[in-house]
Structure 1
Amino acid sequence: MLTEPEDPEVTARMRTARGRACTELGIRPEQGADEAWGWHGRTLSLPVVAPGGPAWLRLGCAPSDEVNVTFWDGSVTAEQAIPDSVPRPRLHAVHDWSDGQWEYRAELYERVTARPASTTATLTANPDVPSNWWRAVRAGLDDIAQVPTERFSVHQPFLKRAMPQFLGTPIDTTAPSWSTAHGDFHWANLCAPELRIFDWEGWGLAPTGYDTAVLHSHSLLMPSVAATVRHELRDVINTPEGRYAELAVITQLLHSTTRGDNLELADPLRRRAEHLLGRAVPHPDE
């Protein structure tokens, strides 16, 4: 969960849009509820009271000329395609509108009582999850991987271009195989001790083992937890497919550091890449 945007105009615009969403959906914010902000104020979420009881509102926005259909429709298509066996808040209602400059989507979900394992995507404290939580993770990832789709979370042309840039050469940039993934399987999107999986906008095909690699990469600041991920999901990560998926995720995260994101992970990611590749990888200062 990120903090309120630094730009007060963004904050005011999103809160105004939240008011419209509440009116259109016939809901009201829960008294004293805390706001949950997304990247650069592009999403605003909070607990609400709906006619049927407690619920959760997620409001997203995008510039009208920059709507990425894959991400924009992800939550709706996930509700339709992901099997009931995968634990997640269920989507009850959707309302879209535009003010000409911005597109908005309000999504109303069931309220879950479980809390995210971390308030941030990158883990900074031990989540202390029970053994049955890992069993649920494995079962969920297996079920997600079997879902047929033409959506893509990751695109091969990006990996072909970016992997040599961030990992150096020689490197094989072709994914051994592709499977359906959640696409953003980090600690802030996973509840514990009862597993629930949030934020499905980016689901789709990715290199096999991608979700496991995302979880591991976001655990690198906590070496003991990263070791637990490698142990609990060893049947995925300790394979040629898992190794490639790790390198793909490391590439994406290092690419994000060029925008000022995930800077705390840059050095651990490079060290992990060097371990996997058995050689040094490029550094931006070199």
Structure 2
Amino acid sequence: MTLAAADGRSVDLRKEPVDQVLELVEQRLGTALDRSTVVRKRRTVGARSGRSTWVRVERRPWSRAVEQGWAGTEAAAVLTGVAMPRWAGSVVWAEPDDGAIWRADETSLLPSPPVGTAVLASAPALLEGWWAALNASLDALAAQPTTRVATPDTEVITQQHVDEVIRAAFPAAVNTDVTSWHPAHADLNWANVTSPEFCLFDWEDWGLAPRGLDSATLLVASLAVPALAERVRRERRADLESRDGKLMTLFTLAKIAGPHAHPDDPRVEPARAEAQQLIRDLQRE
């Protein structure tokens, strides 16, 4: 079952054979997985089980697992006031020859389909109650106690990391010191929320982060649809207008408008304009 990655290369589960992995998960969880429902992503594979639950299998290199931990979904089960799938159990195993650790988490099914892909090209039809549930969940999450540290884009977020990402893209940025840290989902995009009933899923990266990370991430994911971006800005105004929220917006913008900007990304130009305005705002503070 081992995937040949001991040489350090990246493994993409969208391309690798995963039948043996799914068979092992079935044996250890004691339930069949419906192959017609399999969803394959770069780091994860998911499928519906025979007991009407969802099983999400993640592969994480051992070096990253040691640094970051690997029990985000299980750890998130203690959160209160957040609309999320219920965690039912998990199995974990190491593959020494693969240099990786595998984890399968079983949760309740999502109440509605995902809104769309991570970045949207058109505005989704979201009810007022959806926005209220988003706000209630993010506000409840920010108030939870935790010692976990968030890993947006699989990188542990630290003050040094924030400095490096922002300054690589925007050398003119001024003081980037963060003052307030709160729990965040750390991967809040349109592929990880459902509608019409709101639910926030995929919790492997959650933990402490600078205030406003989630709001900034959702805002930047919406920049190709100006009306949607404005709605996110209005709903999450308290976070986004705080100094740390502005820094997190700049941090998130740097990842799409910096030195590695993709020429076909429709968010690049609005992101650069947004960044310049934020830099001017921060310079005045």
TM-score range relative to shorter protein: 0.7 to 0.9
The CA distance in 2 between the partners of 1:88 and 1:137, in whole Å, is: 11
* Counterpart residue type for residue 220 of structure 2: S
Aligned Cα root-mean-square deviation (Å): 2.6
Structure-2 change in CA distance of 1:278 and 1:229 (3 Å): same
Aligned to 1:86: 82
The yes-or-no answer on 1:129 pairing with 2:126 is yes
**Alpha-carbon separation, structure 2, partners of 1:146 and 1:9:** 36
**Aligned mates of 1:266, 1:145 — CA distance in 2:** 29
Deviation at 1:271, TM superposition (A): 2.2
The amino acid across from 1:135 in the alignment is A
Q: Which residue number in structure 1 is paired with residue 207 of structure 2?
A: 204
Q: Tell me how far apart the structure 2 counterparts of residues 254 and 197 of structure 1 sit (CA, whole Å).
A: 26
Q: Which amino acid aligns with 1:107?
A: D
> How many Å separate the matches in 1 of 2:221 and 2:273?
14
Change (3 A) 1:142 1:11: same
Aligned equivalents of 1:173 and 1:277: distance in 2? 10
Q: 1:113 aligns with which of 111, 115, 133?
A: 111
Q: Give the residue type in structure 1 aligned to 2:260.
A: T
Match of 1:48 in 2: 49
Q: 2:93 aligns with which of 97, 110, 117?
A: 97
Contact kept, 8 Å, 1:121 with 1:187, in 2: the verdict is yes
Match of 1:266 among 265, 268, 283: 268
* Shift in Å, 1:143: 0.6
Identity over aligned pairs, percent: 27
AA paired with 1:49?
Answer: G
Distance of aligned partners of 1:253 and 1:152 in 2 relative to their CA distance in 1, 3 Å threshold: farther
- Count of residue pairs the alignment pairs up: 264
Map 1:54-73 to 2 at 5 A.
Answer: 54-70=52-68, 72-73=70-71
Q: Distance in 1 between matches of 2:217 and 2:141?
A: 15
Comparing 127-136 with 155-164, greater Cα deviation is found at 155-164
Match of residue 36 from structure 2: 32
Q: Secondary structure at the match of 2:68?
A: helix
Alpha-carbon shift at residue 6 of structure 1 (Å): 10
Q: 1:172 aligned to 2:175?
A: yes
How far 1:234 moved relative to its partner? 1.9
Indicate the residue corresponding to 1:193 in structure 2.
Answer: 196
SS in 2 for 1:103: strand
Cα gap change, 1:68 to 1:199, in 2 (>3 Å):
farther
How does the TM-score come out when normalised to structure 2?
Answer: 0.84
CA distance in 2, matches of 1:44, 1:127: 26
The 1:209/1:114 distance shift into structure 2, 3 A limit, reads: same
Deviation, 1:189, is 0.7
- 1:22 to partner: Cα distance: 1.0
Instruction: Give the CA deviation at 1:134.
Output: 0.8
Is contact 2:87–2:106 with CA below 8 Å preserved after alignment? yes
State the match for 1:284 in structure 2: none
1:213-244 CA deviation, whole Å, 9 max, x = no partner?
11000001111100111122223223323212
Cα distance between partner residues in 1 of 2:72 and 2:132? 26
**Runs of 4 or more consecutive aligned structure 1 residues displaced over 6 Å after TM superposition:** 5-9, 259-262
Equivalent residue in structure 2 for 1:11, among 12, 16, 20? 16
Aligned mates of 1:8, 1:229 — CA distance in 2: 32
| Gap change, CA 1:8 and 1:141, over 3 Å in 2 | closer
Pair 174,55 (structure 1): closer, same or farther in 2 beyond 3 Å: same
Q: Once the 2 structures are TM-superposed, how far is the Cα of residue 175 of structure 1 from its aligned partner?
A: 1.2
